[in-house]
Amino acid sequence: MNPETEKYHQNIFQFELTKLKEKDYISAEHYEITLSAHQLYYQDLEELKQVQVKAAKAAEEIRQMPVQQAKKPAKKKLSLEEVRERNISWLLNVGVILLLIGGLFVATSNWDTMSNFMKSASIAVVSLLFYCFAFISGKVLKIERTSFAFIVLGSLFLPIFILSIGWFELLGPYLSFYGEGRYILGAAGSLLVVPVYSIFAQKLGSRLFVWFAYIALSAGAGYTLAALKLENDSFFLGFMIFNALLSAAYHRLKKQASLKLFSGELIYFAQINLVISTLLMLLFFNSHVLYSVNIMITAAVYLSMVYVTGRKEFHFVFSLLIVYGAYQLIENTILNSAGPVLFALVGIGFLFVPRVMDKHYSWDKVF
C-alpha cells in the first residue's frame, strides 16, 4: 500500500470516528482512546518498515562481501625431542607394568641368600632409586614425562614394600600377612601412603595420584572396619557411613580453591565407591533387620549424591532402596501383621520428603 492510499484511509477512519462521537454513539473518552490507538498503529507500522529496509540493506552488504575460505589448522608436527620423549614415555609405561609384576614376585618369593629385613629393605631401596631417577629426569635432563613415570613407579612400590613387611613378619607374627593383626597392618599401611599420594597429586597437579590417594583411603577404611571383626551387616553399615563422610567432605573441599583438583575427582570416586559397596552389601548379609537398616541408610546416601553430582536421577535409586528396605524390615519382623498399612505409610511418606529438602531440584514434582 502506497503512502497516499494509507493517508486516505486514515482520513476516512478519523472522519467516521468523529461522526460517531458527534451522534453520541461513543463517548469522548472512547473517541480519544481509539484515535490515539489508530495513530500509534501507523507510527509503529512506519518504524517497522524502516527496520525492514535497514535489515535488507545490511543483508545485501553481507551478501556482497567476499567469502573467505576457512583455513584448516595445520597439523602440529612433533620435534625430534618431543618424539623421543614420547617414545621413552611409552617404554616406561610398559616397564612400569613389568616391574610391578617383578616387584610383587620379589616381595613374596623365598630368598635364601638374604635375611627378611634385607629383602624388605631392598624393595624400599628400589622405590627410593626410582624417586632419584625422577629427580634427575625432571631437574637435570628436563624430561617431565619421564620424571612423572619414575615417580609413579616409585609410588607404586610403596604398597609392595608394606606387603613385604607383613609377608616376612618383620613386625612380629601378629602384624604379619597371615597374623591376627593383618587388618591393622593393612589399615596402617593404606593410611600411611595417603599423605604421600596427596602431596604428589598437589605438587604435580596429577589426577592419577588423586585417585591413588582416594583408593588408599578407601582401602584404609575397609581394613579398619575389618580389624574390628564386625559381622557383614555392621561392616557395610560402617562403610556406608564412610560414603556419607565422603559426600560431606566434598561440600567442604569445593569451597577451597587450592583443593579443586581433589574435589573434582571426588565426585566420580564417591559414585564408584558407593555403587561397588552397595552391590556387595546387597549380596552379603546376616540379619534381615540390620540388612534393612543398611539399605535405608544407603538410600539416604544416594539422595545426598544429588547435591554432590548435581544429577537428580539418583532419587530413583533412593526410592527403590527405601521400598526394598521397608520390605525386608516388615516381612522379617513382627511388623508383618500390619504389612499393608505400613506399606501404604511408606508411600505416603514419599509425599513428605520434599518438606525437608530444598526447592532447588523441584522435589515436589519428583515425588
Separation CA 277–CA 241 (nearest Å): 11
pLDDT of residue 184: 93
At residue 1, the pLDDT reads 60
Extract the C-alpha cell encoding 7.
493517508
Share of the chain above pLDDT 70, in %: 83
CA angle 266, 269, 270 (to 5 degrees): 80
As a whole number of angstroms, the distance between CA 118 and CA 138 comes to: 30
What average pLDDT does the structure give for the chain?
Answer: 81
What's the mean pLDDT in 146-159? 85
Would you state the pLDDT for residue 113? 66
Task: For Cα atoms 146, 147, 149, give the angle at the middle one, nearest 5 degrees.
Answer: 65
Backbone angles phi, psi at 143, to 5 degrees: -110, 95
Q: Which residue has the higher pLDDT, 120 or 245?
A: 245
Q: Picking from 162-166, 220-224, 351-355, which range would have the lowest pLDDT averaged per residue? A: 351-355
**What mean pLDDT comes out for the span 5-18?**
77
| Res. 349 pLDDT band, cuts 50 70 90 | confident
Q: In the prediction, which pLDDT does 56 show? A: 74
Render pLDDT for 168-224 as a digit per residue (tens, 0 to 9). Answer: 888 888 988 888 889 999 999 999 999 999 999 998 888 999 999 999 999 999 999
Evaluate the CA torsion angle 85, 86, 89, 95 in order and state its sign. negative
Structure confidence at residue 91 (pLDDT): 62
Quote the percentage of the chain above a pLDDT of 90. Answer: 12
**Model pLDDT, residue 218:** 94
The CA distance from 190 to 214, in Å, is 10
Task: Specify the pLDDT at position 331.
Answer: 87
Tell me the mean pLDDT in the region 319-329. Answer: 88
- Lowest-pLDDT range of 196-205, 289-298, 307-316: 307-316
Would you say the C-alpha torsion 208, 213, 218, 224 has a positive or negative sign? Answer: positive
Residue 140 has pLDDT above 80, yes or no: no
What pLDDT is recorded for position 185? 92
- Where along the chain do its domains lie? 3-51, 230-367
Q: What is the pLDDT of residue 219?
A: 94
Q: pTM score, two decimals?
A: 0.66
What is the per-residue pLDDT for 365? 72
pLDDT computed for residue 132 by the predictor: 85
Q: Cα(245)–Cα(243) distance, rounded to whole angstroms?
A: 5
Classify 100 as helix, strand or coil.
helix
